[in-house]
Amino acid sequence: MLDKKVYSNPHRRYNPLSGEWVLVSPHRTKRPWQGKKDKQIIKEKKEYDPECYLCPGNERAGGNINPKYKSTFVFNNDFSALLSESTTDVHNSNELLKIEGTQGECKVICFSPNHSVTLAEMSAPEIRKVIDMWVEQAEELATKYKWVQVFENKGEIMGCSNPHPHGQIWASSFIPNEALKEIDNQGTYFNKHKNQLLLDYMEEENIKAKRKVIENDFWIVLVPFWAIWPFETLLFPKFHIKRLQDLSTDERESLASILKRLLVKYDNLFNTSFPYTMGWHAAPNDGLEYSGWQLHAHFYPPLLRSAGIKKFMVGYEMLAEVQRDITPEEAAQKLSNQTEIHYLETL
């Protein structure tokens, strides 16, 4: 058991998934803030926006017309970062100048036809339809590409270009950098211990119970011991499973429930539509076994002290090592203490 002085003084924590370290500086939470404060803009709620290129029946930026969809809707990104018809040729003129061609597909998933809601404001059955779409698309794209990245950027400060509730899927012929780190570290751990790294970590958290936010029969949400972002969380199944498409009907239903609970807690933390980047890390689809891999989702939210103050990754973080102020233990307690009734329902 670590002494409280260790947690209260500057220290580093190791991330066994990435193999990297994070600097924790708890004493800095006392510093006054005179930096940037993002203004909370409360926009008019409207189910349909004629100017929105993701609303049902509207023309998209690329010129295509959306169908008048009534539920979750997916389409090929009109400005895709990856192209299925591009070449995978390698052009390495020398060891310093390397080029590798890539292939892939990018999809956009509109979570709801309702322009004004977020996942946190949708019902569990509606979220279940989003999960089913994630599974359907992951299963299809896995037959063609090594890596399938399901993700959502929520909120303007996370670079979201359209407020309509939506996420994306990028599938690629290559395995990206962050995934390669997790392949290496989960694989090394499994070879040594013959068990999945995240499942063993869950058992540690069950003993210490310091960073658990919520759980149900099939899923658990933790603020990881090595978290970088102020209220970062890790969501994963309490049993060994590698990919979204391997989830049973009951497990998907349970996932919809815990997602709803977590996202409501996020919104209630600062009484705001809480911004974040989230994404699923599933095992690659290149035919290898990946026995050490555990399906999991990362939530990276930037808000630090309020709805108007965010964490910036600049200076020391970009040039040396990532750093955080509020401890993961404090963040987990604040999140877990939030009610599961959305604050908008109490206004």
In a domain, 26, yes or no: no
Backbone angles phi, psi at 152, to 5 degrees: -140, 130
Cα–Cα dist 299/274, whole Å: 11
In a domain, 195, yes or no: yes
In a domain, 78, yes or no: yes
CB 28 within 8 A of CB 325: yes
Give the per-residue pLDDT at 37: 47
pLDDT confidence of 86, banded at 50, 70, 90? Answer: confident
* Percent of the chain scoring above 70 in pLDDT: 94
In a domain, 7, yes or no: no
Instruction: Name the nearest CA neighbour of 255 among 117, 73, 129.
Output: 129
Looking at the predicted structure, is the pLDDT value of residue 33 above 60? no
In a domain, 151, yes or no: yes
pLDDT, tens digit, 9 for 90 and up, residues 166-219: 999 999 999 999 999 999 999 999 999 999 999 999 999 999 879 999 999 999
Question: pTM score, two decimals?
Answer: 0.94
How many domains are there within the chain?
Answer: 1
Give the per-residue pLDDT at 30: 58
Tell me which residue has tokens 């999960």. Answer: 131
Cα–Cα dist 146/174, whole Å: 6
Q: What is the CATH number of the domain that holds 108?
A: 3.30.428.10
In a domain, 35, yes or no: no
- Cα distances from 208 to residues 11, 15, 326, in angstroms, run 19, 18, 19
Please work out, in degrees rounded to the nearest 5, the angle formed at the alpha carbon of residue 310 by the alpha carbons of 326 and 81: 120
In a domain, 101, yes or no: yes
More confident site: 87 or 149? 149
- Looking at the annotation, which residues are catalytic? 166
In a domain, 61, yes or no: yes
Please give the average per-residue pLDDT across 223-248, as a whole number: 98
| Containing structural domain, residue 103 | 51-338
> Looking at the DSSP assignment, which residues form a beta bridge with residue 11?
24
Looking at the predicted structure, is the pLDDT value of residue 126 above 60? yes
Query: What six digits make up the tokens of 338?
Result: 């939030």
Looking at the predicted structure, is the pLDDT value of residue 306 above 70? yes
3-state secondary structure string, the chain?
CCCHHHHHCCEEEEECCCCEEEEECHHHHHCCCCCCCCCCCCCCCCCCCCCCCCCCCCECCCCCECCCCCCCEEEECCCCCCCCCCCCCEEEEECCEEEECCCEEEEEEECCCCCCCCHHHCCHHHHHHHHHHHHHHHHHHCCCCCEEEEEEEECHHHCCCCCCCEEEEEEECCCCHHHHHHHHHHHHHHHHHCCCHHHHHHHHHHHHCCCEEEECCCEEEECCCCCCCCCCEEEEECCCCCCHHHCCHHHHHHHHHHHHHHHHHHHHHHCCCCCEEEEEECCCCCCCCCCCCCCEEEEECCEEEECCEECCCCCHHHHCCCEECCCHHHHHHHHHCCCCCCHHHHC
The chain-wide mean pLDDT, for the chain, equals 93
